[in-house]
Structure formats: C-alpha cells, structure tokens
Amino acid sequence: MVYLLCIRDLASKKYNQGYFRPQHPEKYIGDSRNIIYRSSWELKFLRWCDRNENILKYASEEFSIPYVSPLDRRVHRYYPDYLIEVKKSDGTIKKYIVEVKPKKQTVPPVKKDRITKSYIYEAKTYAVNEAKWKAAQEFALDNGIEFMVITEEHLGIKPYGTRRLSKKRHK
C-alpha cells in the first residue's frame, strides 16, 4: 500500500508534523483533506486506522471536551487526538476516544533532590493531562464510549534511550 502524504515544511518544529491523506477517505469523519498529525506516533496511528478493516470510522481532533485546568482553575477545551468506531471480533461496534502520548507523560514525574525546571514542566504537563483525561473519562461514560491513552508500547515503538544505534566501523 502506498500512503499519500502532503507534509508542510515544518522544519522548525521539534516533532514530525504534517497532513495525512488517507487511502480510504470515506472512513474519515470530517474533512479528509485536512487531517493533521502532530507526531510520527500520531501518523502511525492514522495509517493503522486507515488500513485496518475493523476501524469503520475515525476522526482526528474533531470535537472538544471542556475541562478545568489545575494550573489556572479556568475552563479550557481539550481536543482528544482521535475518535474511532471499531467492529469487534463478536460483530459488535464500539466507540473509543483515543489519546496518543509518551508513556512518560502518563505517570507522575519522579521528584529528585533538586527541583529543576524540567521537573516543574513535567509536573505541570502531567497535572493538565490528568485533568483532561478525567474530563474525557466522564464524557465517555456519559456517551457510552470508552476512553484510552495509547503510548509507544501500544504502537510498537521502543522508548527513547533504549534504541540501539548501528555501529559503524572506522578505518
């Protein structure tokens, strides 16, 4: 299968970002010409949704869920990464709200002897994610949907720091 990707020049960004062009645009809920991915992990998930025959429909950041940020106590809008409709092995159809995140952002950061800027950033990110996910779980429960967070483990991606680099021989 060949996937057509139209990637904008986002060289200044840290992560792989661009526009995804599905082979099966009829499966996409929304404008299939405007599917944005914000990381290579999201791109991998989009490709999986597009080619998996058990994914009947999918959407990317097409709706929002209100949540209260623990940082400023104000209401913000959370746009979950995906909404998917899946045909299960028993023939039933189930909907899922899916968020793609690094596993590191799904657990509280480890507090060290010294509180660094990095630790503060990680703690704030985790707190905001928890608030978003709590709101998403409540929304899902109210609407007969299941909420899930997918990490690199689910995507079959080795965590950073564990990848083996090829050894080149120098002569």
The alpha helices in the chain, defined as continuous H runs, are 40-51, 117-142, 152-155
Let me know if 31 is a catalytic residue: no
Burial, 31: exposed, middle or buried (Cβ in 10 Å; 0-12, 13-18, 19+)? exposed
Active-site residue (options: 44, 101, 104, 124): 101
Let me know if 85 is a catalytic residue: no
Those residues whose C-beta lies under 8 Å from the C-beta of residue 51, and which sit 6 or more positions away, are 1, 23, 24
Cα torsion at 104, 101, 162, 12 (round to 10°)? -110
Let me know if 44 is a catalytic residue: no
Active-site residue (options: 50, 81, 85, 122): 81
Active-site residue (options: 42, 50, 99, 152): 42
Catalytic residues: 42, 81, 101
